Structure 1
Amino acid sequence: MSTFTPSSLRRRALAAAGTAAVLAVTLAACGSSGSSMPGMDHGTHPSAASSTGSTPGMNHDSMAGMDHGSMGDGLVDAEDGYTLTSTATELPTGKDTTYAFRITGPDGKPVTSFAVDQTKRLHFYAIRSDLTGFQHLHPTMAPDGTWTADLAALTPGTWRAYASFTPDTGTGEDRDFVLSRTVTVPGTAQATPLPAPTTSTEADGYTITVKGIPMVGMAHPMTVTISKDGKPVTDLQPYLDTYAHLTAFHEGDQAFAHLHPETKVNRDNGGPDLAFQAMLPKPGNWRLFLQFQTGGRLHTAALTLRVG
């Protein structure tokens, strides 16, 4: 669990002031989980620190179970002087590749100081326009501020790359940003229809059930229950300082939302129920990606929720 310093507590207080905002749910793909869910790509293996869940570092999340209200929907590459820059407009088809980028500040210089959020200084996401092939990665940063994300093989089409971060200095200090850019993967793109809305799905032999559908414009309780072979799962391990990591994307415009459970972490004894306060900002279909860890292995599940 995170250790809180006066600085991290100050960050929480600042973030809490903006939590009346829009943010949501997902079920993400980070690391290679071996999940059989179609249209999903799991990126790289979790780090040893992530696997143990014991990485020290402050977590400045706003309120328990709700993510940062100031993030916006992630559909712009620049906000309040901070810009996601990259020379990459095209990535190769069908093979592992890297995506290099920088975050520049209001002074036009690369930002190199970032606050730790869920044990990481920056979270990177990639998803195709039809909401398939999702990857959640934790890139590395060079001294000059260049980040490198190691992407698993991409299929042809238009992809959107997101960077989620909090500057640790400057005018954006303590503020959470999600910025994104699109990139093309050449070839004949074949769109995959979004799976129909449902409240239950399976991954790696686990059954994931969602109760309490989020409603537009208001926080709404939502519970994710995990079971296996008809029995409740009670051995969830911490992953990124929590028992689950969820990311959601809106059908059509790829608007981004993210939250994590308000359930307190108690060693390797998580589950079967994970409680959330979810608010999705737009009506329509949202594709949710859920990550959770058992026995040192990261699992990923995905489902579609309809928000009216």
Structure 2
Amino acid sequence: MNTGLKITAFTAAVAATFGTAYGVGRGVDPVAAEKKPASEHGGHEDGGGGGGEQETPTETAPPGGLQISERGYTLALKTPRIDAEKREELRFALVRGGKGKNVTAYERQHGKELHLIVASRDLTTYRHLHPTRAADGTWSTPVELPRAGGYRVFADFKPTGAKEGLTLGADLAVAGEHEPRALPEPNRKTSVDGYEVSLKGELKPGKSSALTLDVERNGRPVTDLQPYLGSYGHLVALRSGDLAYLHVHPTGEPGDGRTKPGPGVSFAATAPSEGTYRLFLDFKHEGQVRTAAFTVQTGTTAGAGAEAGEPPESHDAGHAH
């Protein structure tokens, strides 16, 4: 194996690899402005402004997470660089308006005021974190990332009084020996901590479609999944190349009289464009949250019997509750 490059060369390497995707959120492939799906702009319904202010409606919008600023809000990452393999504090704030005032009032969504996703640019490392907010609006959370390289930080939130939520993204540099990895091959089955998870359904560009993820352990269906963030599963999809963010939830919830606690967890998802996506399913069983990861291509039907895939790296460290 070749010796990894030092982080001093990292910025240039990323710029050469991703071009304008690194820092401004444009993909490797050109992406035209798309109509925003009714339920999946960062996992939120369409609507107007934040903080009770009226916003000008638009017919098109980019997918979630590609912009650091949107509708008068900015993700201010106060820790833009950390070291690999070290537990460090990640700090940030959501800033509103030209005066730079921190947002201090949020509506709870799925049990939390804010969901923080951290993913490596090669989509092999994934974290779903729930940071703590200080009185001045500064958020913080400990994080330990296993490998150096380029990462993207996503803040999924809804300010109090806003008609819809937002997903903003910012780049994070992780220092250390850096060796790029290829995107894992498309897969329909994956294993994590003795659990086997299979993906059924087809991810379609610009059209809502059903995805079902079945959880088994030791060859037996898991029928006693536990609620996590108000549902039996939590799904995040990231587009390869620019990491456009799609945040969806199941088509049912615990206690609704029709949704069973496994083995299947169903979602309605819409891909913003054709391409390859990395899907991360968080599910809870016997008191522990685990993450199953899949690589899928739009227009490809997924069913049982496919090859096992590679789980996200160091997944167990990826949840803070």
TM value normalised by structure 2: 0.72
The structure in which a higher percent of residues are strand is 2
Which residue number corresponds to residue 150 of structure 2? 158
Task: Give 2:285's aligned amino acid.
Answer: T
Which structure would you say has the larger Rg?
2
Deviations 1:101-155 (A, max 9, x none): 1111125211100000000000001111111221110000100000002112342
Which residue number corresponds to residue 133 of structure 1? 125
Which of 71, 78, 81 in structure 2 is aligned with 1:80? Answer: 71
Separation in 1, partners of 2:209, 2:118: 27
Task: Give 2:218's aligned amino acid.
Answer: D
Separation in 2, partners of 1:157, 1:181: 14
Task: Give 2:149's aligned amino acid.
Answer: G
Q: Does 1:121 align with 2:113?
A: yes
Which residue number corresponds to residue 91 of structure 2? 100
Q: Kindly indicate whether the alpha-carbon contact (under 8 Å) linking 1:71 and 1:177 is maintained by their aligned counterparts in 2.
A: no
Q: CA deviation at 1:21?
A: 5.6
Aligned-residue CA RMSD in angstroms? 2.4
Task: Give 1:83's aligned amino acid.
Answer: T
**Structure 1's 83 and 98: CA in aligned 2 closer, same or farther, altered over 3 A?**
same
Which residue number corresponds to residue 304 of structure 1? 295
Task: Give 1:306's aligned amino acid.
Answer: Q
Q: CA deviation at 1:22?
A: 4.7
Deviations 1:253-275 (A, max 9, x none): 11111111113314996001222
Q: Does 1:289 align with 2:307?
A: no
Greater relative contact order (Cα < 8 A, sep 6+): 1
SS at match of 1:103: strand
Which residue number corresponds to residue 223 of structure 2? 234
Which residue number corresponds to residue 216 of structure 1? 205
**Structure 1's 241 and 153: CA in aligned 2 closer, same or farther, altered over 3 A?**
same
Separation in 2, partners of 1:270, 1:71: 34
Which residue number corresponds to residue 148 of structure 1? 140
Q: Kindly indicate whether the alpha-carbon contact (under 8 Å) linking 2:152 and 2:169 is maintained by their aligned counterparts in 1.
A: yes
**Unpaired runs of at least 5, structure 2:** 1-35, 47-59, 300-321
Which residue number corresponds to residue 279 of structure 1? 270
Which residue number corresponds to residue 20 of structure 1? 38
- Identical pairs, percent: 35
Q: Kindly indicate whether the alpha-carbon contact (under 8 Å) linking 1:236 and 1:270 is maintained by their aligned counterparts in 2.
A: yes
Which stretches of structure 1, 4 residues or more, deviate above 2 A after TM superposition? Answer: 18-25, 69-73, 86-89, 266-269
Q: Kindly indicate whether the alpha-carbon contact (under 8 Å) linking 1:242 and 1:265 is maintained by their aligned counterparts in 2.
A: yes
Separation in 1, partners of 2:287, 2:260: 13
**Structure 1's 222 and 258: CA in aligned 2 closer, same or farther, altered over 3 A?**
same
Separation in 2, partners of 1:23, 1:103: 18
Separation in 1, partners of 2:102, 2:62: 20
Aligned residues: 248
Which of 244, 249, 254 in structure 2 is aligned with 1:265? Answer: 254
Separation in 2, partners of 1:89, 1:274: 35
